[in-house]
A and B are shown apart, each in its own frame.
Chain A
Amino acid sequence: MTLSAQVLAVLRREAAVERAGRELLTTALPLAAAFVVLAGLAFGPEPQALERTAGGTVWLAVLVATLPVARAVLSAELTEDTWDVLRALTGPGALFAGKLLGVWAALLTVWALTSGLVVVLFDVRPPLVAVGAGVLGTLALASLTTAVGVLVATGSRRRGLLPALVLPAGLPALLAGAQLSTPGVVALPWAVLLVAYAAVLLAACWTVFPALLEE
């Protein structure tokens, strides 16, 4: 099988598992939505305060959602004894890419939902560049979540490390995403930072992933 065919097979399996269990639908999305609603109540009702905090609220909600997403896409494979099968039947490249695309799709869905909620509840109009930030920022976080999620999931004593590792390493993407989603912010420096950081993170995680699989 070609690499792309294997990646597609892993991704289809991810979709089939989610269709069957609806774990993301019932954990990550409600959690992120609740976060946005509570943030709106905490930061409002002044329109200026809501406008300033809207971007950050979206990206904190995405960050909060990375934990249930990592559990559904990565940790559950270990608790259900399916990780060994995936490792045996797919190459590290296909496994990383397939899992990454699964996590990315989940985080992108969370981002789209929370952005929509922010537009409605906070009554703000994010700049157009926020869409690009959403795509690239969730890609950076998905790369990190996939790599760190595997590292953490393969050692029972490391499970508490996921938030401790994802938050600092994902900070540049979160900051840039929040800034690019806020009206009136000069976009170029943040856009450059986000593009560069997403590219570096993706390349680094792709490179180290085979080593992370070793027991």
Chain B
Amino acid sequence: MSVVTGENGSGKTTLLRLAAGLLQSTTGTRTCSGTALYLRAGGGLRSAQTVGDAVATTAALVGRRGASGPALALLGIAAHADRRLGTLSAGERVRATLAVAAAVEPTVLCLDEPTGVLDERGVDLLVTVLGYLRSAGTAVLVATHQPAALLPLADAHLRLAGGRLEVV
């Protein structure tokens, strides 16, 4: 797991989207042997759907519909399964996004600014989920402005500055 920090506009999102294969690089090559999932905190799910339905239909895209229930429980939002995403608070919505990551268990997870709107318990759950994914073999790349809670879990702390990526 690597934590990426850097000022606004330094290129964190671009780096994550390149790693996820959503952007084509002008030079160099990218190799990924499995699923690379880019998730922006709070995004990734249609707001008209209920939490349970949205996570289940997304996980079903990789044949893991059955993993959605345990993922919701892991994120502490199983009780909100029947609520529409559009009615959730920003923090709860981030948890729903993280439930997608937990259900899908991608080979590479690129998570964009997940800590911004999370409360203390939300950050604890984020650490739990990232630890779970790490143990499941998922390579995690997290871009954040608040790295303190994630650094104890991280293998590397990378900083983007002036267009260059350096190991802190």
A residues with a Cβ closer than 8 A to B are 1, 5-6, 9-10, 12-13, 16-17, 20-21, 23, 76-77, 80-82, 84-90, 214-215
**Among B42-50, B143-151, B160-168, the stretch in contact with A:** B42-50
- Is B58 interfacial (CB 8 A cutoff)? yes
Inter-chain CA distance A214–B58, complex, in Å, is 21
CA–CA, A181 and B62, complex, Å: 42
> 7 closest A-B pairs (Cβ-Cβ)?
A81-B43, A21-B48, A89-B61, A13-B57, A20-B48, A20-B49, A85-B44
Is B49 within 8 A of A17, CB to CB?
yes
User: Could you tell me the distance in whole angstroms from the C-beta of B75 to the nearest C-beta in chain A?
Assistant: 17
Decide if B62 touches A214 in the complex (CB within 8 Å).
Answer: no
19 contacts between A and B (CB under 8 A): A9-B57, A9-B61, A9-B63, A12-B57, A13-B58, A16-B53, A17-B46, A20-B53, A80-B46, A80-B47, A81-B40, A82-B45, A84-B20, A85-B37, A85-B45, A85-B58, A87-B22, A88-B21, A89-B104
A16 CA to B49 CA, complexed, in Å:
7
Cβ A17 vs Cβ B100 within 8 A: no
Q: How long is the Cα–Cα vector from A5 to B21 in the complex, in angstroms?
A: 23
Tell me what chain A mostly uses at the interface: helix, strand, loop, or mixed: helix
B83-115: CB near A (< 8 Å → 1, else 0) gives 010000000000000001000101000000000
Which of B17, B39, B42 contacts A85 (CB under 8 A)? B39
Determine the chain B residues whose CB is within 8 A of the CB of A215 once the complex forms: 17, 22-24
In the complex, given contacts A20-B46, A82-B44, what are 18 additional A-B residue pairs having Cβ atoms less than 8 angstroms apart?
Answer: A9-B63, A12-B60, A20-B53, A23-B48, A80-B45, A80-B46, A81-B42, A82-B46, A84-B22, A84-B43, A85-B37, A85-B44, A86-B61, A87-B22, A88-B21, A88-B37, A89-B58, A90-B61
B45's closest neighbor in chain A, by CB?
Answer: A82
**Which positions in B face A, CB cutoff 8 Å?**
17, 20-24, 35-40, 42-50, 53, 57-58, 60-63, 84, 100, 104, 106
B24/A81 in contact, CB under 8 A? no
Task: Give the chain B neighbours of A13 by CB distance below 8 A.
Answer: 57-58, 60-61
Contacts of B106 in A (CB 8 A): 88
List residues of chain A with CB within 8 A of the CB of B36.
Answer: 88
A213 to B15, CA, bound (A): 18
CB distance from B42 to the nearest CB of A (A): 8
Q: Are the CB atoms of B35 and A76 closer together than 8 Å?
A: no
The 8 Å CB contact of A80, one of B43, B53, B57, B60, is B43
Using CB atoms, name the residue of chain A closest to B65: A9
CB <8 Å contact, B20 and A1: no
Q: In the complex, which residues of chain B have a beta carbon less than 8 angstroms from the beta carbon of A1?
A: 62-63
User: In the assembled complex, how far is the CB of residue B124 from the closest CB belonging to chain A, in whole angstroms?
Assistant: 25
Point out the residues of chain A lying under 8 angstroms from B35, CB to CB. Answer: 88-89
A74 to chain B, nearest CB (A): 13
Asked if A82 contacts B43 (CB within 8 A), the reply is: yes
Residues of A near B44 (CB, < 8 A) are: 81-82, 84-85
A9's partner among B20, B38, B43, B60 (CB-CB below 8 A) is: B60
Q: Given the complex, which residues of A lie within 8 Å of B58, measured CB to CB?
A: 13, 85, 89
Shortest Cβ gap from B118 to chain A (Å): 18
Q: A84 CA to B24 CA in the complex, in Å? A: 14
From A17, A84, A86, A89, contact of B48 by CB (8 A): A17
Question: B61–A6 contact, CB under 8 A?
Answer: yes
In the assembled complex, which residues on chain B have CB atoms less than 8 Å from the CB atom of A82? 43-46
Residues from chain B with a CB closer than 8 A to the CB of A87 are 22
Within the complex, which residue of B23, B50, B62, B104 is in contact with A20, where a contact is CB–CB below 8 Å? B50
Q: A199 to chain B: closest CB distance in Å?
A: 29
